[in-house]
């Protein structure tokens, strides 16, 4: 069985030996280097730009300002194109602006023979600003009389839905109602590889872009939109990527490098962001305020959930309103018995633009949702785990958003496994009556997520398989490997269905929109789920063609043949080898009279969306006097369907947990509410946890097989990062009796709350 085994990752040796080639490892003779001139203020009109000194510097090829760029605004969010004109992403971006909207906005760009000269010249560009009032917070941005950051005002969209029943009825039926307001900060992705891209023209009208992107096919389309070029005249190549976490699910540098090469006679032009630029001038995780209410009956039935999200998308819309809406929609899979009312408002502000980040709004929403669930359980005196088990989705439930009974649902099993693993019941008793400054607490939080974007967006994936001369198989997939292991998982699937060894599948990891089967890219934890049908069908097709060639070669009826372990055998008799696949492959290529290269290609749309589930259990100690938190034990339990590659799955969970802990306890981009200045846009002052900050991470999976996937798998990319925040918050409450409804729960924040509560 190729699926379910922890095979050697396709990319692991290249990565650990440093052989992997990233975008920056490709170059071209005569390549020019570009450097942005970024605004030194957060909100202003550009009154004048003096480029003379920059242009006079030897080695400078050109300086462009807003006056030189196309005047057509374009969207940047990495969503597939929609046939519905009302379902397009917000187009609010120009390549360069004369209305700067955050501290670091792109005012001009310098192109020079080398990066150092470009950087020097960028500093020589003098920009004159007419400053405008600054709105940093949601309150400021949505206040009456706030300055318009974009034409049409600061609110991008405000929408709501109700699901699961009549909300007012449920509200009436609730006997206890609890509520809270929860806030989350601006978080940065901090992927290892900075954004970089270069472009050149290989014809007067054929443009090539090499980029560290999660979404090569979408990138192609957006560059076409930005530059008003036919999409097929643009070619996007994606080499290996050093991480993205959603920050490369946005089209950030590509329209600019494309523009520059068209302006510079097709010469290759490269843009590589420095770490500090990348932290503030790409995308961030939305800072949100979640106001949550929950109503329960006396016997512990969750009657309703009322969730309202204010989402601060910053200077540009990027993924904008999709973020809270997607999270809201996926959250409804968790407690389907409750009637849910969900509303969200997304607004602009003079802070860096927020976009997609791992779990796409869910860490923020579940911080509020699982906070108020904890509130409800405690309010009615039920155990936190019992309450969740009582109300969680079960197999057979009608899930209001996926609307389908056919999915695997193992939320309850996750909670039970987590409870047992952390010895919840015994420890609960042990920690019941503590004294002194060191207090232990237990916390739990659940989450639900989706597998892909259907029905919000089209779900399409492609796979092409080629039988090589030695009987191995090349696999081209539109799905993009960004470090998450998709190449490996999809190779396992192909091997499984085809009947060859995992090692016999060679994955063409680089995507090239000229030749790679279409797939919008890596996001929404979609790839193994949505690509699985394409891989499975392509493998079936290839196998059928292989057996047909065997019939040509041997005269044996293909209907009686099968392919197992790289050999064509008589069906049902694996010992009876008809011909080795390598011999058949050579024949198919080189026999003068029969056959041909054997390939198979499938483009498949997915019209289901399997809900995935899980939870975090944490046992921690609060030092009340020092206002610190020490995690003694933390475990994530997941229902991700069939686990394709256990070791990668565990790695995926560990990475997500570290991110979630970072968000809960450490990370926040600090912006001055008065000036919009960014205080800590660097990795010295912006604190991501390092290995000394992260406790031992435990993970577990429950047995589950989703019938809508040929291999039973569901999403696992993003979910591991969702539930640490509320679990830790709930554990701190458990330990100290203090509810902290804001993250990160740094010593400074704990101090404020402990002080207010009279603990210190």
Q: How far is the CB of 240 from a second copy (least distance, A)?
A: 8
Q: How far is the CB of 119 from a second copy (least distance, A)?
A: 18
CA atoms of 486 and 530, how far apart (whole Å):
11
Q: Which residues make beta-bridge pairs with 448?
A: 613
CB-based burial, 8-38: b 16+ in 10 Å, e otherwise: ebbbeeeeeeeebeebbeeeeeeebbbbbbb
Q: How far is the CB of 29 from a second copy (least distance, A)?
A: 5
Q: Hey, which residues between 305 and 334 contact a second copy (CB under 8 A)?
A: none
Give the count of residues interacting with a second copy (CB under 8 A).
Answer: 72
Phi and psi torsions of 463, nearest 5°:
-145, 135
Which of 232, 403, 574, 646 touches a second copy (CB under 8 A)? 232
CA atoms of 459 and 637, how far apart (whole Å):
27
Q: How far is the CB of 231 from a second copy (least distance, A)?
A: 5
Task: Kindly tell me which of 74 and 613 has the beta carbon lying closer to a second copy.
Answer: 74
CA atoms of 205 and 216, how far apart (whole Å):
19
Which of 20, 181, 297, 564 touches a second copy (CB under 8 A)? 20
The strand pair at 106-112 and 32-38 is best described as: antiparallel
Q: Does 230 bind a second copy (CB under 8 A)?
A: yes
First to last CA, the chain: 58
Task: Kindly tell me which of 139 and 470 has the beta carbon lying closer to a second copy.
Answer: 470
CA atoms of 593 and 421, how far apart (whole Å):
64
Q: Hey, which residues between 488 and 527 contact a second copy (CB under 8 A)?
A: 506, 508, 512, 514-518
Task: Kindly tell me which of 17 and 58 has the beta carbon lying closer to a second copy.
Answer: 17
Q: How far is the CB of 306 from a second copy (least distance, A)?
A: 30
Q: Does 114 bind a second copy (CB under 8 A)?
A: no
CB-based burial, 260-272: b 16+ in 10 Å, e otherwise: bbbbbebbbbbbb
Sheet holding 599-605, edge to edge: 505-508, 473-477, 460-467, 599-605
Q: How far is the CB of 45 from a second copy (least distance, A)?
A: 37
Which of 29, 436, 555, 758 touches a second copy (CB under 8 A)? 29
Q: How far is the CB of 25 from a second copy (least distance, A)?
A: 6
283, 246 Cβ separation under 8 angstroms:
yes
Q: Which residues make beta-bridge pairs with 633?
A: 619
Cis peptide before 744 (omega within 30 of 0): yes
Q: How far is CA 341 from the centre of its chain?
A: 25
Q: How far is the CB of 476 from a second copy (least distance, A)?
A: 6
Q: How far is the CB of 657 from a second copy (least distance, A)?
A: 30
Q: Does 601 bind a second copy (CB under 8 A)?
A: yes
CA atoms of 459 and 519, how far apart (whole Å):
8
Q: How far is the CB of 594 from a second copy (least distance, A)?
A: 7
Q: Helix or strand or coil: residue 631?
A: strand
Task: Kindly tell me which of 516 and 741 has the beta carbon lying closer to a second copy.
Answer: 516
602, 710 Cβ separation under 8 angstroms:
no
Task: Kindly tell me which of 270 and 638 has the beta carbon lying closer to a second copy.
Answer: 270
Which of 13, 52, 72, 275 touches a second copy (CB under 8 A)? 13
Tokens of 97: 């602006």
526, 452 Cβ separation under 8 angstroms:
yes
Which of 26, 129, 431, 751 touches a second copy (CB under 8 A)? 26
Task: Kindly tell me which of 233 and 378 has the beta carbon lying closer to a second copy.
Answer: 233
Q: Hey, which residues between 237 and 276 contact a second copy (CB under 8 A)?
A: 240, 266
Query: Pick from 280, 349, 355, 352: which is nearest to 136 by CA?
Result: 349
Q: Hey, which residues between 439 and 458 contact a second copy (CB under 8 A)?
A: 454-455, 457-458
Q: How far is the CB of 756 from a second copy (least distance, A)?
A: 50
Q: How far is the CB of 221 from a second copy (least distance, A)?
A: 7
Q: How far is the CB of 10 from a second copy (least distance, A)?
A: 9
Q: How far is the CB of 204 from a second copy (least distance, A)?
A: 5
What DSSP string describes 495-519? Answer: HHHHTS-GGGEEEE--EETTTSPP-
Task: Kindly tell me which of 194 and 736 has the beta carbon lying closer to a second copy.
Answer: 194
460, 80 Cβ separation under 8 angstroms:
yes
Task: Kindly tell me which of 78 and 462 has the beta carbon lying closer to a second copy.
Answer: 462
CA atoms of 737 and 727, how far apart (whole Å):
14
Site string for a second copy, 607-636 (x = CB under 8 A): x-----------------------------
Query: Pick from 158, 75, 138: which is nearest to 287 by CA?
Result: 138
CA atoms of 639 and 450, how far apart (whole Å):
12
Task: Kindly tell me which of 503 and 570 has the beta carbon lying closer to a second copy.
Answer: 503
Q: Hey, which residues between 181 and 220 contact a second copy (CB under 8 A)?
A: 200-206
Site string for a second copy, 682-711 (x = CB under 8 A): ------------------------------
Which of 113, 120, 150, 233 touches a second copy (CB under 8 A)? 233
Which of 551, 560, 564, 599 touches a second copy (CB under 8 A)? 599
Query: How many CA atoms, within 13 angstroms, populate the side-chain half-sphere of residue 483?
Result: 21
State the Cα angle at 211 between 207 and 212, rounded to 5°: 165
Q: How far is the CB of 585 from a second copy (least distance, A)?
A: 10
Q: Hey, which residues between 579 and 598 contact a second copy (CB under 8 A)?
A: 586-587, 589-598
Q: Can you say whether the dihedral through the CA atoms of 623, 625, 626, 628 is positive or negative? A: positive
Q: Hey, which residues between 378 and 437 contact a second copy (CB under 8 A)?
A: none
Task: Kindly tell me which of 34 and 339 has the beta carbon lying closer to a second copy.
Answer: 34
Binding region for a second copy (CB under 8 A) out of 13-21, 273-281, 553-561, 626-634: 13-21
Question: Could you count the other beta carbons within 10 Å of the beta carbon of residue 562?
Answer: 17
| E strands in 251-301 | 269-272, 287-296
Query: Pick from 494, 672, 490, 577: which is nearest to 102 by CA?
Result: 672
Q: Hey, which residues between 456 and 485 contact a second copy (CB under 8 A)?
A: 457-460, 462, 464, 468-470, 472, 474, 476
| Structure letter (DSSP) for residue 479 | S
Task: Kindly tell me which of 264 and 281 has the beta carbon lying closer to a second copy.
Answer: 264
Q: Element (H or E) spanning 208, and its range?
A: strand 207-211
Query: Pick from 383, 366, 305, 191: which is nearest to 743 by CA?
Result: 366
Binding region for a second copy (CB under 8 A) out of 492-500, 548-556, 600-608, 661-669: 600-608
Which of 7, 36, 51, 80 touches a second copy (CB under 8 A)? 80
Q: How far is CA 87 from the centre of its chain?
A: 20
Q: How far is the CB of 272 from a second copy (least distance, A)?
A: 12
Binding region for a second copy (CB under 8 A) out of 11-19, 355-363, 480-488, 643-651: 11-19
């Amino acid at each position: 069985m190729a699926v379910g085994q922890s095979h050697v990752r396709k990319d692991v040796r290249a990565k650990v030996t440093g052989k992997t080639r990233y975008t920056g490892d490709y170059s071209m003779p005569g390549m020019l280097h570009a450097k942005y001139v970024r605004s030194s203020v957060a909100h202003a009109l550009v009154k004048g730009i003096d480029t003379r000194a920059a242009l006079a510097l030897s080695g400078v090829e050109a300086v462009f300002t807003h006056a030189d760029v196309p005047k057509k605004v374009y969207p940047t969010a990495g969503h597939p194109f929609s046939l519905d004109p009302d379902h397009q992403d917000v187009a609010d971006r120009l390549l360069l602006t004369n209305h700067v909207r955050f501290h670091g906005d792109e005012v001009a760009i310098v192109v020079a023979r080398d990066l150092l000269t470009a950087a020097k010249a960028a500093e020589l560009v003098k920009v004159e600003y007419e400053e405008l009032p600054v709105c940093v917070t949601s309150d400021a941005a949505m206040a009456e009389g706030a300055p318009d950051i974009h034409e049409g005002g600061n609110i991008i969209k405000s929408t709501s839905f109700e699901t699961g029943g009549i909300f007012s009825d449920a509200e009436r039926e609730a006997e206890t109602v609890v509520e809270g307001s929860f806030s989350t900060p601006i978080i940065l992705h901090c992927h290892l590889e900075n954004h970089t891209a270069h472009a050149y023209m290989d014809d007067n009208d054929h443009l090539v872009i090499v980029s560290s992107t999660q979404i090569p096919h979408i990138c192609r389309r957006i560059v076409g939109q930005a530059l008003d070029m036919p999409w097929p005249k643009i070619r996007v190549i994606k080499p290996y990527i050093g991480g993205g976490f959603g920050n490369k699910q946005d089209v950030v540098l590509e329209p600019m490098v494309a523009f520059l090469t068209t302006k510079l006679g097709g010469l290759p032009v490269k843009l590589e962001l420095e770490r500090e630029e990348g932290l503030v001038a790409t995308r961030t995780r939305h800072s949100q305020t979640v106001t949550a209410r929950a109503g329960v009956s006396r016997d512990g039935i969750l009657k309703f959930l009322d969730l309202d999200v204010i989402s601060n998308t910053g200077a540009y819309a990027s993924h904008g309103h999709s973020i809270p809406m997607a999270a809201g929609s996926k959250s409804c899979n968790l407690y389907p018995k409750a009637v849910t009312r969900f509303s969200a408002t997304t607004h602009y502000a003079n802070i860096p633009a927020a976009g997609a980040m791992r779990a796409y709004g869910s860490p923020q929403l579940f911080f509020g949702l699982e906070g108020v669930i904890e509130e409800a359980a405690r309010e009615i005196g039920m155990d936190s785990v019992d309450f969740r088990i009582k109300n969680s989705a079960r197999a057979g439930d009608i899930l209001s958003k996926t609307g389908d009974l056919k999915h695997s649902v193992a939320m309850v099993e996750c909670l039970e496994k987590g409870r047992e693993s952390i010895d919840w019941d015994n420890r609960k008793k042990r920690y019941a009556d503590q004294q002194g400054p060191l207090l232990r607490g237990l916390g739990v939080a659940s989450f639900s997520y989706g597998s892909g974007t259907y029905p919000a967006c089209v779900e399409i994936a492609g796979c092409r398989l080629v039988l090589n001369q030695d009987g191995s198989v090349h696999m081209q997939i539109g799905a993009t490997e960004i470090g998450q292991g998709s190449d490996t998982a999809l190779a396992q699937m192909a091997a499984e269905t085809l009947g060859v060894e995992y090692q016999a599948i060679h994955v063409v990891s680089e995507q090239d929109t000229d030749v790679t089967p279409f797939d919008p890219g890596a996001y929404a934890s979609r790839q193994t789920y949505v690509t699985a049908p394409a891989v499975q069908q392509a493998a079936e097709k290839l196998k059928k063609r292989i057996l047909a060639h065997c019939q040509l070669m041997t005269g044996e009826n293909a209907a009686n043949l099968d392919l197992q372990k790289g050999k064509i055998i008589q069906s049902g008799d694996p010992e009876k080898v008809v011909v080795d696949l390598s011999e058949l492959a050579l024949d198919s290529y080189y026999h003068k009279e029969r056959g041909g290269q054997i390939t198979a290609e499938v483009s498949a749309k997915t019209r289901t969306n399997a809900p995935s589930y899980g939870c975090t259990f944490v046992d921690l100690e609060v030092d009340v006097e020092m206002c610190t938190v020490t995690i003694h034990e933390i475990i994530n339990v997941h229902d991700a369907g069939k686990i394709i590659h256990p070791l990668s799955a565990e790695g995926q969970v560990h990475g997500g947990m570290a991110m979630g802990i970072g968000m809960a306890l450490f990370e926040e981009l600090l912006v001055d509410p008065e000036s919009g200045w960014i205080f800590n846009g660097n990795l010295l002052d912006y604190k991501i946890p390092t290995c000394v900050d992260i406790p031992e991470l435990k993970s577990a999976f429950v047995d589950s097989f989703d019938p809508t996937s040929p291999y039973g798998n569901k999403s696992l990319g993003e979910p591991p990062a969702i539930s640490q925040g509320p679990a830790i918050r709930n554990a701190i409450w458990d330990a100290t009796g203090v509810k902290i409804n804001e993250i990160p729960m740094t010593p400074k924040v704990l101090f404020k709350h402990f002080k207010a509560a009279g603990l210190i």
